[in-house]
Amino acid sequence: MFFKRFFVLILICIILISAIFFRENESYGIYSEQEFHEVKEMIKKDDQRLEAYIQFIELANNYLKRKANPVDYLYIPPTYVDNSGHAKARKDITEDAYASYILGLAWKLTDQEIYAEKAIDILNHWSKTNKQISAKDDTPLVAANSGIGFIYSATLLHDYKKWDQSQFRKWVESTYLPTIQFARNRSNNWANWGNLASLTTYSYLGDKSKLEKEVMYTKKIIVSQIDANGKMKEEIARKAKSMRYTYFALAPLTQSAFLIYNETNTNLFDLNSLEGKRIKAAFDKLYNAVENPNNWQYYTKTDLEKPNMEGNNNWPGSLIEAMSHIYPQENYNHLITEYRPILGGYIANRGPHHLAWNFPTLIPPIISN
């Protein structure tokens, strides 16, 4: 009888330990349960993380007041032809997607249902109202780099039992996913944003088969876009804007690599892999030029658009913050210490713009292998 009770006790302990382990490693696409646990612990101990948390909660509370602004038909004109029209057309989807994302994240960090309910309200309004997203001009790119906030939010809320997700899932599958493929199938930074949006979508939908295929596509993008010396030929062709576009390509590409790590435990940052070597070589090229723009050998004229990490227009601060945690031995973070906490993804005077590596000071990536 003693041995039977002892065996049962051991079995219960194993089950409890396993449950804790798998809970800690549960993936929410670009986040993990382990990261949420770490945030909750660190804001009790670290003043900088607490400051980042307070900043984040203030944003979330402001978005509790937001009224969703969905459109029946979404079309975004090309920014280099109609800059003001582009900004106006993208404003509602960008703000609504960003709001739903922040609110979903606030729920995960606080367990307060008021945040979840408001995020769901925005998601439901868009999935009910929006019938078509154009495949023309800048629309697929904006759907990918801004609209992805809707999918981030839904992924964070996928286990919220009070939400009937059927309408939203149908919208994702029939309206959102087909459009972002037009970005995914390009060869420059559009592919990176489309790839990130696709990975995030398959993660949310729980489609493991398509996720695995998209992981292979991510690997293909890394090798085709970045040469052995870290040069991104599609982006350096932008000349005066080549530094900014290199950042704009690396931000989603590295965010995709981290999502893949969370979902599959495949570490594309590993320097023993071809992908890891290429990613780090490209980032180092950019980082060295942030330290000293004269190191940017691809374009040397005086009109080179240089990084600006002041205020919210802090490119490439969010990317550097993230990579400083992925490669902590490199001491990348010395460039950004004075700018923390970093929001990420902003354009000055326009608010949120692109959703990769947002809130990296509050929720830095955790790589365990």
Residue 11 has pLDDT above 70, yes or no: no
Stated as kind and residue range, the H or E segment containing 27 is none
In this prediction, residue 206 carries a pLDDT of 97
In this prediction, residue 111 carries a pLDDT of 97
In this prediction, residue 312 carries a pLDDT of 58
In this prediction, residue 223 carries a pLDDT of 97
Q: Read off φ and ψ for residue 133, nearest 5 degrees.
A: -120, 120
In this prediction the pTM is 0.93
In this prediction, residue 12 carries a pLDDT of 43
Residue 78 has pLDDT above 90, yes or no: yes
In 3D space, the residue among 247, 208, 212 whose CA is nearest the CA of residue 356 turns out to be 247
d(CA 365, CA 142): 25
103 and 118 in contact (C-beta within 8 Å)? yes
Residue 243 in 3-state DSSP? helix
| Burial grade of 12 (CB within 10 A; 0-12, 13-18, 19 or more) | exposed
In this prediction, residue 157 carries a pLDDT of 98
Per residue in 315-359, pLDDT tens?
Answer: 999 999 999 999 999 999 999 999 999 988 876 667 899 999 999
